[in-house]
Amino acid sequence: MSKKVLERLKAQFGDRILATSSNFGDDEAVVAPKDWLEVATFLRDDPECEMNHFVDVTCVDYPMREDLPRFDVLVFVRSLAKKHRVRLKTRVDEGGSVPSLVPVWIGANWGEREAWDMFGVVFEGHPDPRRILLYEEFVGHPLRKDYPIEKTQPLVPYRDVEDIDKLPPFGADEGQPWSRIDWQARIEGSDFQVSPAIGEQQGQRPALSRGTEYTDLDDEAARTATE
Amino acid sequence: MEPFYEDEEHEGTLELPAEPMRINMGPSHPAMHGTIRMVLELDGETVMDLDIQPGYLHRGFEKSCERGNWTQVFPYADRLNYVSPMLCNVGFSLAVEKLAGLKVPERCTWYRMILGEISRITDHLTCNSASAMELGAFTPFLWCIKVRDWLWDVLEQETGARMTHSFGRIGGMAKEPTPHFKESVRAVLPQVDEVLLETESLLLKNRIFLDRTQGIGKLSKERALAWGVTGPVLRSTGVDYDVRKAHPYMFYNAVDFDVPVGHDGDNYDRFMVRFEEVRQSMKIIEQCLDKMPDKGPINADDPRFVLPEKLDVYNTIEATIAHFKIVMEGIKVPAGEAYGFTEGGNGEMGFFIVSDGSGTPYRVRCRPPCFYNLQACREMLIGDMVADIVPTFGSINMIGGECDR
């Protein structure tokens, strides 16, 4: 459909376009993370490409492949006037980062936040790097293949009662405390922390600012110990 | 009595001491449909900034898809946009069929189009009438919901369920059209038209409704494109992007319909675009009904993807084995990546699917139109009043199931 875009990219960037394909009519170009921003800007500004309509950004996790980095990062864009689409792909390793595309298409903002939330791929220079669909205390990135699907991280611990028809009312120490985030600490500029009450309740570390590494995915042991 | 202010320079400058105030709206707010949280920064009643926080309805759609087989995605896809589940169902089937290189029979395509357009009507009616209700007009809501129920009766007759049909299949549909399908659709369409006119007559000369919608929640064309906005919200800004026209799928290039566009991208335009689209959908349905053959297969003739007839399953060993293999191991979709996109109720509904050749999806990414539409909501609302949040948010038609997945 839009072979022209791929040819244009190859003419402009030469070897820096690592691969192109048009399987099933979806045009795709693969670039290295360092060229990511430049190629995206070119796609938007070049009068022959004119990719002004942002569509989507997402990741795919391949933990088992050895020859290539672990994550595929994909961005889908289309041109309103030319009616063609292209899919740009790059590959990053765990802990690696891709430049954020928010300066190019502002719509990448939430998509990249979601990709960070779900896969832990860091988008360098993102203006608002918070989790979006999950809560801030969440540990790990659930769409990675090594995140167990049965694993739960409830903010309010499950209640262990025999007769579920007659649930006793929540005690003073149960349920979700008001203001689970320590806003005071955040305002004062220290690192973002979960309020101590919640941290204790769940046996979790204070979670997840950028760059916090999580090593053991299965915190069940720690959680049950405190319960 | 002496006036309070004697000198001129103070005249008209009496102001209450006000500093920006931060207010939390949601996640469970009576005036907002959908579970979503907005943190507002207000100066008086003017919205200076707001932070929209979705995610309260996140149920792990994409993760759940990676554990079953391809057919088991349909119930999840139903629950993406639960106001127009048939569009999500068909969208997902088309994406997988694109990857599998499968062609469905002509009759099935027409059938899918009719059911999909009925779903689109229900989607737009729900959105528009609920926005009107939030502005105090309760009657249009009741009338539109009445019509929606008639349309759902048709869908119930066809699929067995009113809302979450799970009716799509890879390579066809779950069942053939019922013998009275065409009659019942033809019977309900004039009633829809009638109620549409009545609803418009209630709203479009209503000063309150016009004041609350015209010029409120504006979005410009260029910004809408950069934000990734699609669907009626994009068309209200004057861009005639409709997937059905721009990248025709199924038989949309064989039917005649128009793409309504607005000028200003405000609430009123979004409202009018939706109502006009309902009319266009009815036009499409009428053409499809004429063109849909009464006889013919509904499922693709491909034993790798489509379950054999029940009669054969009970009577022949080959069909029994084929049935067993498909049910137990799942459909083997060839390895590869494909992005299939259709026009959903709120815009471009895309499915990026990755298959590794086994019976289980490796990755199913849903490109949710609401998510990106909602993202642009911040820009629409900054500078407006607190009271404008409710109609603007309503006109975006955020569906929690699709936005948060």
What is the pLDDT at residue A204?
43
Q: Are A214 and A137 in contact (CB under 8 A)?
A: no
The pair of structure tokens assigned to B221 is: 């064309």
Question: Distance of alpha carbon B342 from its chain centroid, rounded?
Answer: 11
Q: Is B336 an 8 Å CB contact of chain A?
A: yes
**pLDDT at residue A210 is higher than 50:** no
What is the pLDDT at residue A212?
38
Q: Is B67 an 8 Å CB contact of chain A?
A: yes
At residue A56, the 3 state secondary structure works out as strand
What is the pLDDT at residue B285?
92
Mean pLDDT of successive 10-residue stretches along chain B, which has 405 residues: 52 62 80 81 83 86 88 89 88 90 90 91 90 86 90 90 87 88 90 88 86 86 87 89 87 89 88 90 91 87 86 90 88 89 88 88 90 88 86 86 86
What is the pLDDT at residue B118?
92
Q: Is A152 an 8 Å CB contact of chain B?
A: no
Q: Is B33 an 8 Å CB contact of chain A?
A: no
The pair of structure tokens assigned to B158 is: 């066809």
Global pTM reads 0.83
The per-residue pLDDT for range A132-160, each reduced to its tens digit, is 888 877 888 888 888 888 888 777 777 77
> Across the A/B interface, how many CB contacts are shorter than 8 Å?
98
d(CA A214, CA B344): 38
Q: Which residue of A has its CA nearest to B337?
A: A23
- B128 contacts: CB under 8 Å, gap ≥ 6: B140, B144, B199, B271, B274, B275
Query: Which pLDDT band holds residue A227 (cuts at 50, 70, 90)?
Result: very low
Rg value, chain A, Cα:
22
d(CA A136, CA B260): 41
Tell me, what amino acid is at B26? G
What is the pLDDT at residue A172?
63
What is the pLDDT at residue B114?
92
Rg value, chain B, Cα:
24
How long, in residues, is chain B? 405
What is the pLDDT at residue B117?
92
What residues of B are in contact with residue A106 (Cβ under 8 Å)?
Answer: 223, 226-227
The per-residue pLDDT for range A88-107, each reduced to its tens digit, is 999 998 888 899 888 888 88
d(CA B51, CA A133): 14
3-state percent helix, strand, coil for chain B, nearest multiple of 5? 50, 10, 40
Closest CA to B381 of B32, B24, B30, B52: B52
At residue A8, the 3 state secondary structure works out as helix
The pair of structure tokens assigned to A47 is: 């009068």
Q: Are B400 and B57 in contact (CB under 8 A)?
A: yes
The per-residue pLDDT for range A156-181, each reduced to its tens digit, is 777 777 777 877 777 666 655 554 55
Pairwise CB contact (< 8 Å): A52 & B363: no
Pairwise CB contact (< 8 Å): B247 & A105: no
The single-letter DSSP state of residue A86 is: E
d(CA A140, CA A146): 10
What is the pLDDT at residue B352?
92
Mutation site, B227, B233, B364, interface A, largest A CB count within 10 A: B227
At residue A14, the 3 state secondary structure works out as helix
Q: Is A142 an 8 Å CB contact of chain B?
A: yes
Closest CA to B333 of B105, B99, B173, B172: B99
More confident position, A197 or B22: B22
Distance from CA of A198 to the nearest CA of B (A): 19
- B190 contacts: CB under 8 Å, gap ≥ 6: none
Q: Which residue of A has its CA nearest to B347?
A: A55
Pairwise CB contact (< 8 Å): B227 & A54: yes
Partners of A87 in the β-ladder: A28, A76
Task: Spell out the alpha helix ranges (H) of B204-352.
Answer: 207-213, 221-227, 231-235, 243-246, 267-291, 310-315, 317-329
Partners of A77 in the β-ladder: A54, A86
**pLDDT at residue A56 is higher than 70:** yes
**pLDDT at residue A225 is higher than 60:** no
Pairwise CB contact (< 8 Å): B228 & A54: yes
What is the pLDDT at residue A3?
66
Query: Which pLDDT band holds residue A184 (cuts at 50, 70, 90)?
Result: low
d(CA B291, CA B376): 39
Q: Is A156 an 8 Å CB contact of chain B?
A: no
Tell me, what amino acid is at B97? E
- The torsion angles phi and psi of A49, rounded to 5 degrees, stand at -95, -55
- Calculate the dihedral angle through the C-alpha atoms of B361, B367, B368, B369, rounding to the nearest 10 degrees: -150
Q: Which residue of A has its CA nearest to B68?
A: A149
